[in-house]
Amino acid sequence: MHFGPHLLLAALEGLVTSAVLALTALGLSLVFGVMRVVNVAHGEFFMLGAVLAWAISTAISGHPALGFLAALVLAPLIVGLIALVAERLVLRRLNYNPEATIVATIGMLYIIQQLALTFYGPEARPVEPPFSYRILLPWFGYSGYKLSIIAASALLLVATWLVLTRTKIGLIMRATQYDSETAQAFGIPVTKVYAGVFALGAMLAAVAAVLIVPISQAHYLMGQDPLLLSFIVVIIGGLGSLRGTVVAAVLIGLSDGIISVFFSPTLAKIIATLLVAMVLVFRPQGLFGTTSR
Amino acid sequence: MKDASPAKPYALHLGVIALLFTLSFVLPEYHHGLLARIMVLAVFAMGYNLLFGYVGLLSLGHAMFFSAGLYGAGLAVIHLGWSVPAAFAAGFACGALLALVIGLLALRTSGVAFMIVTMMFAQVFYLVILYLAAWTGGDQGMVVPQPMRVLVLGSTSLDLTNPTVRYMSALTLFSIVLLISLAIVRSGYGRVLVAIRENEERTKMLGYDTFSNKLAAVVISGSICAASGAAYALLFGYVGSSFASVQYSILPLLWVLLGGAATTLGPLIGTLFMYYVIDVASGYTSAYLLIVGIALILLVLFFPRGILGSIRQRWLGWLP
């Protein structure tokens, strides 16, 4: 293969990564933006989504698309419910204190990871894709399913954006994000909004995981990389800024895809992590964000 | 912090050291070895506590200082054939230097950003260790050869693989660091650190240079953690990348929270307690991370002051 098609392939792979990353990071960003909580367990909600997708799709016999669709609906709902319980039992009692919640979500990370290891096991298990149509390009064939991930993610992102900007729920969320005390004074049930946002954030991660699991397998440690990458995306995009999050996800996903085709993945990670740490040190509002209040 | 007489805290700390010294001759072999390890790790926790407990800076990256000491000392022995004191000094210097650089960068941020930045620098450090597998042994780690682990003092030579020598070396390091941290906490400098924790703006207004005070705290804290890491490499003979992973940044936080943040003896009690809980639990289940997770959540929910913190609040106000 020549350099051009090679680059195209890398870019396509990068776009798939970006699509999944944008959804995961959007969840993290919403939780941070509205609740000011850094959810270290976010990657574990992602992992739970994938593991549940495997469990659901193997439980349902028949055409693989049937099991996959059931997983796409059920897995995020279950993960959302788990997140809701965690929020009620732990985060609310801590009054959403930023530092205490980080320690608590680290605890959740260990608990979820260990339970997944105990009940799901250390194996990596595949989920069959709902369809296996290959699109033939002049240089290589490309999985139609991967392209549909990009489309599905774009659809979900637009839907989330519409909910946030055009509906009353979105208005309430933005009001809470802007000033939770004033929102409370105007009769907005702030703790309910927080619970909903935390569940929504976890569900976004779970959806992303269900989408990716037919091409990457479910494993109990798979939450680590998405967590780190989501952090990177949220920081580059500006903590709490949604448009920045999406732009940064595309940027990071593309460069991750392209860099890891041409360089050692460990070196790529070292450079990316170091760069992001420097961004946080010297430009804490992110590359696209405005100055925080 | 009341201090009616300086004698009481010093008597207590010397008593603890004396107790640990006596235990060396009483304990059965298994617990003897375990306690030596716990004392070295308690030094790590004390270094962490200095920054987290007294200055209120929550770092999620202290594994990098511990492993800077670990690798600094271990690799100096393995690759350069340095003697034990020189290797220890190398590890210590690596940690101090790293802490200075990280402090200069990370202290430009505060709060949540500080936690994330320290975690990311630690992650970079961890990945660099994996990347330089040719020298560091990658994720397999390396064993420090036994014949090299001999401390030559004048005409006597001490074999660090001997259990008693190992225990006494660990106790020596532990005692020195404990007394140093007690002295720091009771000094004027320690009070400035607590003032920064309580209200940084006001401390600044009173004319203290909070940045350089915090930077000094990061360097002291990082150096203590590096000393612990260097001692770990030389006493237990293993250098591995798992000590640089995120988990080893979380563990000292857990130990300090459990024992009581901003208490001088809390780190020892927290490390001791958690180590034994995990040791006992691993007899029944391999899921020890579950216990770590539950302990973290229960601590922040119901017991944010830790064991010694609660005792100080209820009964012993003079506890440093």
Task: Give the ipTM of the model, two decimals please.
Answer: 0.81
Question: Does A93 reside within a domain?
Answer: yes
- A274: which chain B residues are within 8 Å (Cβ-Cβ)? 120, 124
Residues of chain B contacting residue A266, judged by C-beta atoms under 8 Å apart: 127, 130-131
Distance CA B103, CA B118 (A): 9
Give the residue from B35, B65, B12 showing the smallest Cα distance to B171: B35
pLDDT tens-digit map of B26-78: 888 888 989 999 999 999 999 999 999 999 999 989 999 999 999 999 999 99
Which tops the pLDDT comparison, B168 or A268?
A: B168
Chain A residues whose beta carbon lies within 8 Å of the beta carbon of residue B257: 103
Note whether B123 contacts A113, CB cutoff 8 Å.
no
pLDDT: is A94 or A283 the higher one?
Answer: A94
Task: Determine whether the interchain pair A111/B112 forms a contact, defined as Cβ–Cβ distance below 8 Å.
Answer: no
The beta-carbon neighbor of A98 closest among B60, B106, B111 is B111
Can you give the residue range of the structural domain that contains A136?
A: 18-223
Tokens of B250: 């979380």
Quote the number of domains for chain A: 1
* CA angle (B119 as vertex; B116, B121 as ends), nearest 5: 110
Q: For position B4, what pLDDT does the model report?
A: 52
Interface test with A, best of B121, B257, B290 (most A CBs within 10 A): B290
Report how far apart, in Å, the C-alpha atoms of B277 and of each of B123, B138, B281, B283, B290 are.
28, 30, 6, 10, 12
* B89 band by pLDDT with thresholds 50, 70 and 90: very high
| SS3 (DSSP) at A119 | helix
For B197-217, what is the mean pLDDT?
A: 92
What pLDDT, on the 0 to 100 scale, is given for residue A286? 65
Q: What's the one-letter identity of residue B312? A: R
Mean pLDDT over all residues of chain A? 87
Among the residues of chain A, which ranges form H helices?
3-35, 42-59, 64-86, 98-120, 144-166, 168-178, 180-185, 190-216, 224-237, 242-262, 265-282
Write out chain A residues lying below 8 Å of B127, CB-based.
266, 269-270, 273
Query: What residues in B contact A278, CB-CB < 8 Å?
Result: 105
Kindly report the nearest CA distance between residue A108 and chain B, in angstroms.
6
The whole domain housing B50 covers 7-245
Does the residue A146 lie in any domain? yes
Q: Let me know if residue B195 belongs to a domain.
A: yes
Say whether pLDDT at A212 is over 80. Answer: yes
8 Å CB contact of B115 and A38: yes
Give the nearest chain A residue to B117 (CA atoms). A277
What is residue A288's predicted lDDT score, i.e. its pLDDT?
60
Entry pTM:
0.84
DSSP A217: -
Domain for residue A246, yes or no? Answer: no
- pLDDT at position A56 is 93
Q: Which of B110, B127, B242 to mutate to test the interface with A (most CBs of A within 10 A)?
A: B127
Residue A119 inside a domain? The answer is yes
Which of B94, B89, B68, B84 is CA-nearest to residue B239? B68
Task: Give domain status of residue A268, yes or no.
Answer: no
Question: Per-residue pLDDT for B277 more than 50?
Answer: yes
- What beta strand segments (E) does chain B contain? 142-143, 150-153, 156-159, 238-239
Q: Is residue A201, in this structure, part of any structural domain at all?
A: yes
Give the contacts of A20 (CB within 8 A, at least 6 positions apart): A149, A153, A208, A209, A211, A212, A226, A253
Of B58 and A140, the structure prediction assigns the larger pLDDT to B58
Selected for mutation to probe chain A from B120, B123, B131, B291 (highest A CB count within 10 Å) is B120
The alpha-carbon gap from A175 to the nearest alpha carbon of chain B, in Å, equals 22
The predicted-structure confidence for A13-64, as pLDDT tens digits, reads as follows 889 989 999 999 999 988 988 888 889 899 999 999 999 999 999 898 878 8
Chain B residues with CB inside 8 Å of A282's CB?
108
d(CA B95, CA B68): 5
- Total number of domains constituting chain B: 1
Whether residue B307 is predicted with pLDDT greater than 90 in this model: the reply is: no
Q: Considering CB atoms only, which of A106, A266, A274 is closest to B296? A: A106
Confirm whether A264 is domain-assigned.
no
Give the residue on A whose Cα is nearest the Cα of B294: A107
